Structure 1
Amino acid sequence: MDNRLSNLYSLLAKQQRRFQISELAAHFRVSTRTIYNDIDKLNELLETVGAAEIVIEKGRIQYECEMPIDIEKILFKNNDFINSDQRIRKIRMLESVLLLPDNFSSETLLQRTLVSRNTLLNDLRAVRKELENNEIILETIPFRGYRVVGEEARIRNFLAATLEQDPLLFETEGFQAERNSLVEIDELIEKICNEIGIQLSDESFQKMILHFWVTKKRLQINKSLKQWQKKEIYNKEEQVLFANKQAIEDRFKQPITKAELVYLANKLSEASITNFQELLTDKWLTFNLIVEQFITAVDQDFPQIDFTTDQKLYKGLLNHLRPAYKRTLAGESIENPMYEYVLENYQELHTSIRTYVPLLETKLKVTFTDQEISFFTLFFAASLERNKFFVPHKTKIVVICNAGISTSEILKSKIQNTFHVEVVGTFGAREGIKWLTENKVDLVITTIPLELKSIPVVRVNPYLSEEDRESIHRFVKPIFREVTIEQLLTIVENYASLSFQATKSLSDELTTYLNLPKSQEKKEYQPMLKEILTPDLIELNYAAENRDEAVRKSGELLVNSGLATNNYVDGMIENLEVNGTYIVIAPGIAMPHARPEEGALDVGFSIVTLKEPVVFGHPKNDPVKIVIGLCAIDHQTHLKALAELVEILSHEENVAGFTSATNKIEIMNIIEGGKETC
């Protein structure tokens, strides 16, 4: 039997010499990552029979054993592997039960699980209880066998979660044929993510492969999702899945309905991402405003740190909030591998964030778990780390981490705070390896097994232990201790009494001399709406024949006032084509905009009222009567004015005043008399 695991073990056991990971990857024509995964699987098998494990040290493999075992026998012929581990046995039983069609028999289960009849019956009782805990019933039908009864989406989610616990399943004889299917699904998801404009974390990517595979296998036994309610607006994930319907059917080798595509799109929207292009999606305006409110609230508890000026914090939270919201809506649980670390090292911060999370929950009408909330804490923790030190440019480093953007950011910050380095990027394994083929760095720091030919690699834990620091120290010179202005001033106060002004002057001088960040950095000013909206930015009763003309007019007003370039107007039109329905934020009101880098010069809004309403394509909020052109130079500076405008337009009398206005002064009076929100 041609099995790579068996062949790899045989090679290591027979030659009993040191192998480079890259050497084995070349021999088996796979990636180094695949070899690391194979070694993990082999060690799981070796543990079941009490054999010595394969040791990996600095990219080299050494295996010494007096009597090699028969890996194929364990995998395919000997049921000791399953019988020896009750947890694995139950997992395999669950997988079999959920992958079989209705009316399967005990004999079928015996053939699949390779256990005795008595063991099978005992395990079935445990499996039945496990299913019931997840609102799934294993029903016995007299003279016919068994069938699984439950909500199909729940069954699929539970099956995918079970498969995550069984990395060796696809190495067994009955699942060899599925390997090509998994490769095809891998390529398909990569294509879909590129079209959406997102990059999944490595962990999320593997979960998506399982969700696609589970959907395929459940459809093969005629278990499809029930009739679904047609939606009026489809998000970007759904649109891309619909566009790839044929490609999915080709890989599934069967037709697929829109209900199935929407289910897979939901799984994508729940996945943690490491990078994304700015997308207008459902609740995009709400997400932007409540993230700002959330950061401002937490900031009040930490006067020594200014969270509100940290653009990375804002973008990171905005990036994470949507999948967190989608997961919570779907009842999907998530575990933070750094949860205990958060509680031990950032207890005060985590307590503060738990206090203010209801700001998000109330607006979104969900309740986040403490595990989910701990991810929010990691974003703030990364911001704290960024505020501790200014690190001069030294060794160029790339961080590769599969646990998502929050873990990558805190690891990046810890590395920068400890060593004279420049972290030029954080990536998942897929994107990192791709990026390194075209760019050069001095060192790669990774939380996952990785072997590169021409670049040194240091593998570390996400929390960067002392042992990890020593490993990195071999390549770069570290900063041995953290220095803050507060610590220095405390020492000075032990020997001298300084006035408030003298303390401030000394603080500023030390900050400049030591190249440290200012403890109270000036906050980027957020102008009020009446400060940036002038009569020149208003056009009344404009005769637009279509939505493009209406949007272009709002952009031209921004250009004429020096707030944007013509390229920005083109970006508004392009964004309209991609996300047209979502820019219609309320009945009769559209808010087109483009990305800051597409030509935004300053913060501003334009207001265009239309002589005749124009259809934008929104099923509920059409036709549009008011077009508000938004120009933002970053993710935050415009938010105070935006919040004011949203508040003003939430009142029907103000909307009516906009549409009936015959001169610009009427609009300005509404703006200046509108309610102000902070």
Structure 2
Amino acid sequence: MNKRTLSIIQELCEISHLVTIDDLSKEYNVSQRTIRNDLTSINDILRENGLKEIELKSGGTIVRDNSFVDIRFFMTDQDLYAYKLSKNERVAVASVLLINTSKYITLSTIADHLFVSRATIINDLTEIKDFLRDSNLEVKSHPNKGLRVEGKESDKRLFLMKIAQLKDNNDMIARHISIQAGNKITIQKVINEQEHIHQSFLTDESFDKILIYLGIMVNRNLMGEYLESCIMTNNDKYIMAQDILRYVSQYCHISTSENEIQFLSELLRDSHYIRQNATEDKIVKIQLITRQFIDRISYDLGINLNDDYDFFENLSNHLESVLKTNAPDYPNSAILEEVLEANQDVVEAVNQNLYIIKQYSTREIMPIEIGYIAVHVCAALERKKNKEVAFHVVVACHAGIGTSQLLIEKLKKHFNFQIVDIISAHEAENVDPQKADVIISTVPLKNSKVDYVTVSPLLSDEDYIRVGNKIDALRNSRHLPSRIGETEITAKGLLEKLSPIIYSIAPERYDDLMKGIRKEVRDYFHQSVEADAEIFSPYLHHLLPPTHIQLDVECDTWQDAVKLSAQPLLEYGYIEERYVDAMIHNIEENGPYVVLSPGFAVPHEGLEKGSIKVGMNLIRLKHPVEFGADEFDPVEFVCCLSAVDHKTHLKAFFNLVNMLQNKEFKESLRVCKTSEDVARIIEKYEYTLI
């Protein structure tokens, strides 16, 4: 199969009108006989996979059955292998292979990767050498070892960047310069946060360039390839580069040097930037309202939903639009009315507690907005309920292994599922009903003997409800056993069991030991897709080290308490002076909603009010003060929060609120003698949530 054949398949899948051999001949500038040969190749694929073949009618009209589009299910990696690369593409892929080989690579190995003969690579070798020489790189050969590329590491990376940024790159080229999905998401988050902190917002093109470079850098570092010594020069992007690499190295588990910082700073210096529009400045306030609402809903429904991070995040995002001046256009949802009708108790609880949201809204909240709030609650209830029953599940996905793994991570996070197999959609008809209770698929299935439910790969709240409804139906109709005894242990479950054991054996080394154990356990369980997607959101103990904690602070008023809680952040450069005044004005204007729990307040202000980078500072007052928060007064602990975007602080904030529900946690904070003791207590209790 060649590139033209693949293009014809794609075209025949996407168009509905009649097309002739003559049409394709003119479009691809080849003879009609060549097109007929391409159609013969396509029919071979259709026949091998049990699909109806293309027919040719009078005038060369191409007639295909409605099932023709199913051919896409069979166009996987094998088509990349079968696809015949052009000479320029072979040269590019071979060059990338040479650079990405730490030692030597043989001509035969390159030929195998490109699915061509060794003689073809020999014929291409001159062009490969010239191609690399243009980037100051030389191909050296060794009689008994093969070929390798010599040159500066910086030139190798720039070459890979150039190839990665080429338009119309072949998939095989992209594959050999690929960034791991988890690392890519992490790097995106790092760049995004540092843009806000340094108030330097990259254009889309420059953002992609820096993302590609950092992905290449991580891959090269993991291979043991490091930058050569650079001439150290000062430029205004050095600190930004330093901050980016600090977090990339931490979360992608690599080591970086001053040379890496210097090189990245030069790339940032040469990048293009845009002026960032002012951002919605009520984000943290909305998140606090969300916490209050979830707490009241949990109380009324008699089910604790405070520990569902997805619920907190999704509802926060929804309320952000609800509290805007102009109501957005909400899409009609087929499942919305059905869910609301079946969950009247949830609807009633939402309406009873809607006052928490209404008091901050400047307009009437529309019925459909309230309906979506109820859907978020129902999805959280489904996740809670269905963790209690284990089902054997097959995942069917048509979009590749990366998408399958993302879907599996999300399913296992909220359902007590045992994933027994991962299949392509066309394999569903072969799944044994004795080995699986249900198939969760990203596309509709044909001829499946097993019940299935269709979801999106990102698993929305509506998808959670669909899965939950399917499980309920299966449980009721088939009386399925829970199989709870067969449930495999998870990384979180194992860490929860190990944590108290480690603490009892070596309390003085607990922190260091658990850090190492956590990394090993999570690596063993291959928690990369979902875990890396969220890893850059710092935990509470990251934001509250001993230097950000002060004990027995003296003050007379809540205004003084707010100022004193913010003072270290001001001194360390996390906030500007105006941020402190804005926090006090916020409480004066909106009341003491910042008091989250009896005796504990989290003053803050919105984005663009003087926050520079994400951070927290906690003070324990020697004499508690009144914030005017009724039953939550007096306040003994004040934790100043500086937020720079919607999400970076969210994990820490979520964990803090959940920890405050634990009376032992607060009591432990009260009896601590030093800031170091408080930091250890925070880390210890936070790990019970992870």
Determine if the TM-score, normalized by the shorter chain, exceeds 0.5. Answer: no
Q: With the length of structure 1 as denominator, give the TM-score of the two structures.
A: 0.33
Q: With the length of structure 2 as denominator, give the TM-score of the two structures.
A: 0.33
